[in-house]
A and B are shown apart, each in its own frame.
Chain A
Amino acid sequence: MHLLEIRNLHAGVDGKEILRGVNLTIDPGEVHAIMGPNGSGKSTLAQLLAGRDTYSVSEGQVLYQGEDLLSMSPEDRAVAGVFLAFQYPVEIPGVGNMYFMRTALNAIRRRRGLEELDAMDFLALAKEKLKLVEMDQKFMNRSVNEGFSGGEKKRNEILQLAVLDPKLAILDETDSGLDIDALKIIAHGVNGQRRPDRAMLLITHYQRLLNYVVPDRVHVMADGRIARSGDRQLAMELEQKGYAWLEQQPDPTSRRGAVAQ
């Protein structure tokens, strides 16, 4: 059984179709990257997988560990191990970062029938994970994302990834808006989270993240479909030739998708 299997997914908002037949299969341990120009549907796909209800699905299905992912609530997906690192992390004034993460982790643990962590145990866990993203403990005492710089927000997302321990981590443009130092820290954090039993889906506009996080597969999205799939070479080719090169290619179909059908 695959970890994630997207079959001919069509979805849109207000009657406007954004995803027009996406096919994608991800297995545990794999790191996939989805690249593509703005408006190609990358972020829509990420949000849809995480359970955002802004989008309506008109056709196709998504299986997660063999189950119908689209019928699950966002919190159920989180419990099942789906994690989204947000492109624009949300501020929650007055709610401490530590408290927020502990509440989230314990909500998930409770649902999984595990014992909840008390404040001391959680602090120990958080301290360990903070090192991964080179964050100071004082971040934990601030309100969730409030007053964080762009880079701090993104690091906070990777921190949550590490704390919540998902099976499928989707990173939506986690590299955007970062300077090279911050990018390296993020990449280091992401690499540290690669595991044989965890898959990652990196959504990115630029290939520069892929210099640091080497993906197993690279997909190029255009016009709501996966236009091309390949390995790292594809990303480099894109970097050289630009997305315009892609549009000149006739009738794009995902190889992977063809296999799945």
Chain B
Amino acid sequence: MTTTNEVRKLTEREYEHGFVTAVDEDTVPRGLTEETIRAISAKKNEPQFMLDWRLKAFRHWLTMKEPTWQNVRYPPIDYQDIIYYSAPKRKAALKSLDEVDPEILKTYAKLGIPLEEQKMLAGVAVDAVFDSVSVATTFKEKLAEKGVLFCSFSEAVQKYPELVKKYLGSVVPYSDNFFATLNSAVFSDGSFCFVPKGVRCPMELSTYFRINAADTGQFERTLIVAEDGAYVSYLEGCTAPMRDKNQLHAAVVELVALEGAQIKYSTVQNWYPGDAQGRGGIYNFVTKRGRCQGANSKISWTQVETGSAITWKYPSVILQGDNAVGEFYSVALTNNYQQADTGTKMIHMGKNTRSTIISKGISAGHGQNTYRGLVKILKGAANSRNYTQCDSLLLGSTCGAHTMPYIEVRNRSSRAEHEASTSKIGEDQLFYCRQRGISEEDAVTMIVNGFCRQVFKELPMEFAVEAQKLLSVSLEGSVG
């Protein structure tokens, strides 16, 4: 009883430093029934196939049980106590940065976010000087020239229904898992990207330049398709602290790489992690999967996960085409009472397929960090290779690190390697740095960044710089 109330309070409460949200009539009633699904689909004016798909997912979801195998703890979620749809909200604009919580501004300053961008992130009305709409338009024109389709998921459903129909659920089927199935039934919006044959996307695609265009809410869905020989690099998230009043986030990302195509997907996740006592914070239950469908294709996931109270995600690659390459580079940091159970799955089906997994877990405070990974090399995947390296770094003595690798190799010509290490930031290392004049806090940041270097070097340049700063901000108060 009490816990249900607690959850209710948590799910409903506005984040203390949150944005003022305009009164918004365009919502469906609390709770989840077939009617809810129909209402969502109708409000979005979706074609029949979308509604059918959502309903199939919903009916399947009713038969499923919430997973309990992951190494995280949270009170039960009442799925009937969530509002599943509200139209894209317009944030009530603040008049100036003076109205923004000074703590947030301090964080922005530490992250080195330019002033105009700070305003945008904090929901302050932007000056004419920085016209985000015109910036976005310029980008869109440039992309259109190359034939790259990049828009919100809702827009794609309207404009490119054939493509959506062809690829939606082709990597993460509606029946995949409890949270993905829930997402399939109720997802509100997300991103869609299609790069046609032979096209190298001329810029890093990011959600950044449509930050105001779509408030995708808690059930986000992303679909990226790269046709033969195409290349795209996609950046998700941003280092600035993301505030959201929804506690449960269950997103799905699907990537499809056809013959010779390459998709690079980079994430920096910095959702609200809860307070120092572990109250509040986002539950980030995400299903991300890519399919290297064609021969010689490549999918690379890079993630820096510093936010959320609970992170549950395993960006995976199905290596279907011969010679396909899958990569997973991850930094997951848990401080205070944060919990992360994250890793990857590499499913080798094609011949000569290769995968690399580099996972760096950092635990501080009472944080719990679990790497969970599956490397599965099927019978037909002759001469396949996997290399896995899992390193954990502990700060202090009240946190935890766990490594749970699963390796299945079904043929004799393939090879899987696994290396794991756990280390503590040593008194010796800290003293060495401090003796050289480097403050304790800077020393911790330096050591942690060194620990993560293998992963950071996979990030696009400007993202890497931000990620380093982000780590130092996230680690604040974890020493001394």
Please report A residues at the B interface, Cβ cutoff 8 Å. 50-52, 54, 73-75, 77-79, 83-84, 86, 88-90, 92-95, 100-101, 103-105, 107-108, 111, 143, 160, 164
Contacts of A160 in B (CB 8 A): 436
Q: Report the separation of the CA atoms of residues A100 and B435 in the bound assembly, to the nearest whole angstrom.
A: 12
Cβ A90 vs Cβ B426 within 8 A: yes
Query: Given contacts A103-B442, A103-B446, is CB(A94)–CB(B437) below 8 Å?
Result: no
**Across the two chains, which residue of chain B brings its CB closest to A77?**
B435
B residues near A, CB below 8 A? Answer: 426-429, 431-440, 442, 446-447, 449-454
Residues A94 and B449 in contact, CB atoms below 8 Å apart: yes
B432: chain A residues at CB < 8 Å are 86, 89-90, 92
Complex contact B439–A92 (CB within 8 A):
no
A78, A90, A164 — most chain B CB neighbours (10 Å)? A90
* Contact across chains for B454 and A111 when beta carbons are under 8 A apart: no
A156 vs B427: C-alpha distance when bound (angstroms): 20
In the complex, which of the residues A86, A103, A108 has the most CB atoms of chain B within 10 Å of its own CB atom? A103
Contact A104 B453 (CB under 8 A): no
- Interface contacts beyond A90-B426, A92-B432, A104-B436: sample of 20 additional A-B pairs, CB < 8 Å, sorted by A: A51-B431, A52-B431, A54-B427, A74-B431, A75-B438, A75-B439, A75-B440, A86-B432, A90-B431, A92-B429, A93-B450, A94-B451, A94-B452, A95-B447, A95-B453, A101-B436, A103-B442, A107-B436, A164-B436, A164-B437
Most buried by B among A84, A94, A160: A94
- Please, which residue of chain B has its CB at the minimum distance from the CB of A96? B450
Closest beta carbon of chain A to B425's beta carbon, Å: 10
A107 touches B437 (CB 8 A): yes
Q: Which of B428, B436, B454 has the most CB of A within 10 A?
A: B436
Contacts A86-B432, A92-B446, A94-B454 given; does A104 touch B426 at CB 8 Å: no
A78-B451 in contact given A92-B432, A95-B446 (Cβ < 8 Å): no
Residues of chain B lying within 8 A (CB to CB) of residue A95: 446-447, 449-450, 453
Is A90's CB under 8 angstroms from B446's CB? no
Task: Evaluate contact between A78 and B446: CB separation under 8 angstroms.
Answer: no
User: Measured between alpha carbons, how far is A195 from B41 in the docked complex, in Å?
Assistant: 81
**Complex Cα spacing A103 to B432, Å:** 13
Shortest Cβ distance from B320 into chain A, in angstroms?
34
A-B contact count (CB 8 A): 76
CB pair A100–B446 under 8 Å, yes or no, is yes
A108-B435 Cα distance, complex, nearest whole Å: 11
A-B contact pairs, 30 of them (CB 8 A): A51-B435, A54-B427, A73-B434, A75-B434, A75-B435, A75-B438, A77-B435, A78-B434, A78-B435, A78-B437, A79-B437, A83-B435, A84-B435, A88-B428, A90-B426, A90-B428, A92-B432, A92-B433, A94-B451, A94-B453, A95-B447, A95-B450, A95-B453, A100-B433, A100-B436, A104-B437, A108-B437, A143-B450, A164-B436, A164-B437
Q: Please name all residues of chain A whose beta carbon is closer than 8 Å to the beta carbon of B433 when the two chains form the complex.
A: 92, 100, 104
Residues of B with C-beta under 8 A to A103: 438, 442, 446
Q: Bound complex: CA of A131 vs CA of B447, how far in Å?
A: 28
> Contacts A52-B431, A86-B432, A103-B442 hold; do A93 and B437 have CB atoms under 8 A apart?
no
CB of A111 within 8 A of CB of B437, answer: yes
Q: Are B451 and A74 in touch, CB under 8 angstroms?
A: no
Give the distance to chain B from A230, nearest Cβ to Cβ, in Å.
Answer: 30
Q: A86-B432, A90-B426, A90-B432 are in contact. Are A104 and B438 (CB under 8 A)?
A: yes
Complex interface: chain B residues within 8 A of A75 (CB)? 434-435, 437-440
Contact partners of A83 in chain B: CB under 8 A: 435
Distance in Å: Cβ of A125 to nearest Cβ of chain B: 15
The answer to whether A74 touches B447 (Cβ under 8 A) is: no
A73 to B446, CA, bound (A): 19
Q: How far is the CA of A107 from the CA of B445 in the complex (A)?
A: 14
A93 close to B451 (CB less than 8 A): yes
A77 to chain B, nearest CB (A): 8
Give min CB distance, A190 to chain B, whole Å.
18
Contacts A92-B450, A94-B450, A94-B454; A107 near B429 (Cβ below 8 A) = no
Residue of A whose beta carbon sits closest to that of B421:
A93
Question: Are A90 and B451 in contact, with the CB atoms below 8 A?
Answer: no
User: What residues on B are CB-neighbors of A101 within 8 Å?
Assistant: 436
CA separation between A164 and B433, bound complex, in Å? 13
* Complex A-B, nearest 5 residue pairs according to Cβ-Cβ distance, in ascending order: A94-B450, A95-B450, A78-B437, A104-B436, A94-B453
- The reply to whether B426 and A107 form a contact with Cβ atoms under 8 Å apart is no
Rounded to whole angstroms, the CA-CA distance of A78 and B440 in the bound complex is 13
Given the complex, which residues of A lie within 8 Å of B442, measured CB to CB?
103, 107
Contacts of B431 in A (CB 8 A): 50-52, 74, 90
A218 to B449, CA, bound (A): 43
Taking CB as reference atom, which chain A residue is nearest B457?
A: A94
- Could you say which residues of chain A place their CB within 8 Å of the CB of B427? 54
In chain A, what residue has the closest Cβ to B360? A94
| Chain B residue with the shortest CB-CB distance to A78 | B437
Tell me if A78 and B436 are in contact (CB < 8 A). Answer: yes
Q: Is the CB of B434 within 8 A of A90?
A: no
* A94 CA / B429 CA spacing, docked (Å): 13
Quick one: closest B residue to A80, CB to CB?
Answer: B437
Inter-subunit contact A107/B435 (CB<8 Å): no
- Which residues of A sit under 8 angstroms from B434, Cβ to Cβ? 51, 73-75, 78
